[in-house]
Amino acid sequence: MPAALNSRQAAASIHDAFVAAGKEFFGVATDQGLLERGSNAAIIEANFGQVTGENSMKWGSLEATRGSYNWGPADFLAEWATSNGKLIRGHTLIWHSQLPTWVEGITDPAELTEVIQTHVATVMGRYAGQVAHWDVLNEILAEDGTLRDSVFSRVLGEEFVAIAFNAAREADPNAKLYINDYNLDRAGYAKVNGMVELVTKWKNAGVPIDGIGTQTHISGGMGAGVQAALEQLASAPVDEIAITELDIAQAPSADYTAVVEGCLSVAKCVAITVWGVSDADSWRQGENPLLFDGSFQPKQAYSDIVGTL
């Protein structure tokens, strides 16, 4: 085998094949520590077209202390992506988890509004023109499809949705702005119904939501149901849908290919991001859910996806 093939550890680029099939990108979550370890960087360079910061762009990572920013890991990711010709998904601006305690403690609506607007403007402004998609809001729905209880919903009701998206549009008018969530994998499920209903309401009220992100952390056997869920999400008046954090317990090839075929079959589904390169670094330890094993070797699912494309 040629040296270049050994460094990429896969015979063909999944991103190139996905783009040739008419989609925007096939990407992966990573961060500085991962890019500096093992074969992560070489595999991403060769096989994937986009990166998401697994943790580096979250509020708790960037501004644990009010007004004091830690840009190092996020800057590293952005610079690595730009120098290697990779698109970036910004993840995530507003999330109830990995949130600084000083934000959690805010009780005044005017103060929280200003804090949201400042955070969005500061982070998006720093990377304006570099980030293709931003997860403006992450996991704001409960399983019944209503707003999750958080400091944002408690203090501002659903007004925080418009506050965040309007600030985001102003900060980087060219970035695609997403609302992202998990358990959006089954058509007719209450959370899917709620997402479509709320996004439709917000869009009709002028909130600039461009896309819905479905994380797609699923178990084996669930892949076949993803297309119908994507079709339901696409019924909302958004421009696009993306699969943003894909991983599947034990990485069954049939499920991975079903998810990819589902995206191919739904015109609004523009991109897929898997939540890591190697099982060795997966947040789902012991479930082996990714496309490369712990030794950075591509699995059958990877080959079968490329074959499908």
Residues annotated catalytic, as ranges: 139, 245
Contact between residue 16 and residue 274 where contact means Cβ atoms under 8 Å apart: no
Continuous H helices in the chain: 3-8, 14-20, 32-35, 40-47, 59-62, 72-83, 101-104, 109-126, 151-156, 159-171, 190-204, 226-234, 253-265, 300-308
Q: Specify which residues 135 forms β-bridges with.
A: 91, 178
Q: Is the dihedral of CA 127, 174, 237, 21 positive or negative?
A: negative
Tell me how far CA of residue 225 lies from CA of 27, 212, 259, in angstroms.
22, 17, 8
Alpha carbons 25 and 30: distance in angstroms, whole number: 15
- How far is Cα 22 from Cα 270, in angstroms, rounded to an integer? 8
Tell me the sheet residues that pair with 180. 138, 213
Assess contact for 61 and 97: CB atoms under 8 A. Answer: no
